[in-house]
Amino acid sequence: MTLDSPNRTRIINRRHFLIAAAQGGLAVTVGSLLAACGQPASAPPSAPAPAATTAPQPAGAAAPQAGPGGFANVGTLKLLMSSHFVPAYDTWFDQWAKDWGTKNNVEVQADHILSSDLAAKNAAEVAAGGGHDLYKLTRNGEPILYYNVMVDVSDLTKQIGEARGGWIPFAETLGFLEGAWHAVPEYFIDFPALYRKDIFDANGLAPVDTWDDLMKAGTLLKSKGNPIGIAINQKSNDANNTWTGVLWSHGGSVVAADGKTVALDSPETRQMLTYAIELYNKTMTNEVLSWDDTGNNLLLASGRGSWIQNPISALRTIEHDTPDLAEKIFVSNTPAGPKGRMTSVTANSWGIAKWAGSVPAAKALLLDYYAILPEGIKASQGYNQPVLKDLRKKPMAILGEEAKLNVLQDFDQVIHAVGYPGPPTAAAGEVESNWIIPLMVARAVNDGDINGAVEWGTQKIEAIYSKYT
């Protein structure tokens, strides 16, 4: 897949990068064992990024391999990544990285920090022009924001893709810009529904399939003391994913297919907000207005909640803490709207900085890591949704082995990157990182002024997009 160059809105220069960072455009997900959320980040003062210390390999070339004695004179290869929401994955990864370093005569230092801190740390190091060698990028738009300080990894991405049957379409929207790859996609985090099957069964309710179904089921269940829960504020990345999905599934969008024309002011957006107001009033309690991403998980874990939309990390935590309750919790697809079934998701990619001490060693580490990627998927307990076609063949690891997770094997069919129906762009990433959509919903549910909410959202989004024209 190639993106339609010369769409220059997808390119961000250093000035635009710093603007985006300062306004929260580099926000990422907050880590906890229960879920993920996001906070805006500010970038430090600008400093020029140095040129690559090692020239990148030309596109199509094989990734460099270590010699019999490993890589000479590399010293330490430093990785910056978020703490995984399933701790067993970090334990597995750290041991693998240590063993890889021993084998290749390189000290590998994997630094895990809370996802809520990762955006600010990334921004600081990019502004300073130094820090780590490899970066885990956890936003759809981050590879675009960082493209001019990341090594061209087209050779590596091509080699990995060919070894695993190619990349799914969603992966090809992550880090591919102007004919080159600037990051290697790794996985996305699915965003299904988790619900109390026993409560649904006791009330004669089928699993939710559409947003209309949720309205009907949630209205009944709230009256019986079992509300649903969706965050409506600027503290929760879950709120971004849910309400962006509701908008898309009603036919609305932030931007048109050209990736440049702001399209929020539409009848479809008003239809979505009308639905959101009714859903909030009939199925939820006002606690959702102050939730971070742990809020909906805690509601479900309390035994009071009946339905939430969240990655399966919430289920994994409840399985660990309250196994009897976990047996009653089932998984269903993201609900469909009048215009289809779709949702926004968080995606992870690997970038190599141009200031890396050894680009060949960094590429070799990634090549070997992707060779054993199935082990990482298992260590994540199914949380890491692969974006390589061969790894999505059924039955998938973990997801195809646990009956209640089988529906997640097709989750790649309902996901889109920020900027849909156009390509992911720096501007779209900034809209997401500033929570414009959930904040627009919050305004509507608080005062019932749909036109005012749309006008506010449109002004905010136009101000962001105007910086990239």
> Per the structure block, which two tokens stand in for 22?
């300062």
What pLDDT was estimated at residue 75? 87
What pLDDT was estimated at residue 65? 57
In 222-327, beta strands by DSSP E: 228-229, 307-309
In single-letter form, the type of residue at position 88 comes to: A
In contact, 151 and 359? CB cutoff 8 Å = yes
Average of per-residue pLDDT across 432-460: 96
> Does the pLDDT of residue 236 top 80, yes or no?
no
The answer on 254 and 199 residing in a single domain is yes
Q: Which CATH number fits the domain that encloses residue 248?
A: 3.40.190.10
The answer on 198 and 176 residing in a single domain is no
Q: pTM for the full model?
A: 0.81
Average pLDDT of the chain, as a whole number: 85
> Does the pLDDT of residue 119 top 60, yes or no?
yes
Is 422 inside a domain boundary?
no
What pLDDT was estimated at residue 120? 77
Average of per-residue pLDDT across 453-457: 98
Is 398 inside a domain boundary?
yes
> Does the pLDDT of residue 405 top 60, yes or no?
yes
The strand pair at 134-137 and 76-82 is best described as: parallel
DSSP state of 409: G
Is 172 inside a domain boundary?
yes
The answer on 171 and 206 residing in a single domain is no
Please count the structural domains in the chain: 2
The answer on 374 and 267 residing in a single domain is no
What pLDDT was estimated at residue 57? 38
Average of per-residue pLDDT across 210-228: 98
**Tokens 């082990």 sit at which residue?**
375
The least confident of 44-58, 137-151, 375-389 is 44-58
The answer on 376 and 259 residing in a single domain is no
Average of per-residue pLDDT across 448-454: 98
pLDDT tens by residue, 90-118: 999 999 999 999 999 999 999 999 876 88
Burial 298-319 (b: 16+ CB within 10 A, else e): bbbbeeebbbbbbbbbbbbbbe
Give the 3-state secondary structure of residue 447.
helix
> Does the pLDDT of residue 196 top 90, yes or no?
yes
Spell out the residues 6+ positions from residue 325 whose beta carbon is closer than 8 angstroms to its own: 301, 303, 318
Q: Whole-angstrom Cα distance, residue 446 to residue 384?
A: 36
Q: Residue 277 is part of which domain span?
A: 193-344+435-466
Is 425 inside a domain boundary?
no
The answer on 312 and 295 residing in a single domain is yes
The answer on 167 and 25 residing in a single domain is yes
Is 3 inside a domain boundary?
no
The answer on 140 and 230 residing in a single domain is no
The DSSP annotation for 267-296 comes to HHHHHHHHHHHHHHHHH--GGGGG--THHH
Q: Would you place residue 85 in the very low, low, confident or very high pLDDT band (cuts 50, 70, 90)?
A: confident
pLDDT tens by residue, 3-61: 333 333 332 333 333 333 333 333 332 222 223 333 333 332 233 333 333 333 333 34
Give the 3-state secondary structure of residue 217.
helix
The answer on 281 and 162 residing in a single domain is no
Is 440 inside a domain boundary?
yes
Is 424 inside a domain boundary?
no
The least confident of 35-49, 197-211, 308-322, 452-466 is 35-49
What pLDDT was estimated at residue 112? 97
Q: How many other CB atoms are there within 10 angstroms of residue 224's CB atom?
A: 11
pLDDT tens by residue, 282-296: 999 999 999 988 899
The answer on 325 and 446 residing in a single domain is yes
Q: How many other CB atoms are there within 10 angstroms of residue 177's CB atom?
A: 21
The answer on 293 and 258 residing in a single domain is yes
Q: Would you place residue 2 in the very low, low, confident or very high pLDDT band (cuts 50, 70, 90)?
A: very low
The answer on 237 and 207 residing in a single domain is yes
Is 329 inside a domain boundary?
yes
Q: How many other CB atoms are there within 10 angstroms of residue 382's CB atom?
A: 23
Q: Considering Cα of 127, then 131, then 132, then 136, what sign does the dihedral take?
A: negative
Q: Whole-angstrom Cα distance, residue 431 to residue 416?
A: 15
Average of per-residue pLDDT across 354-379: 96
What pLDDT was estimated at residue 366? 98
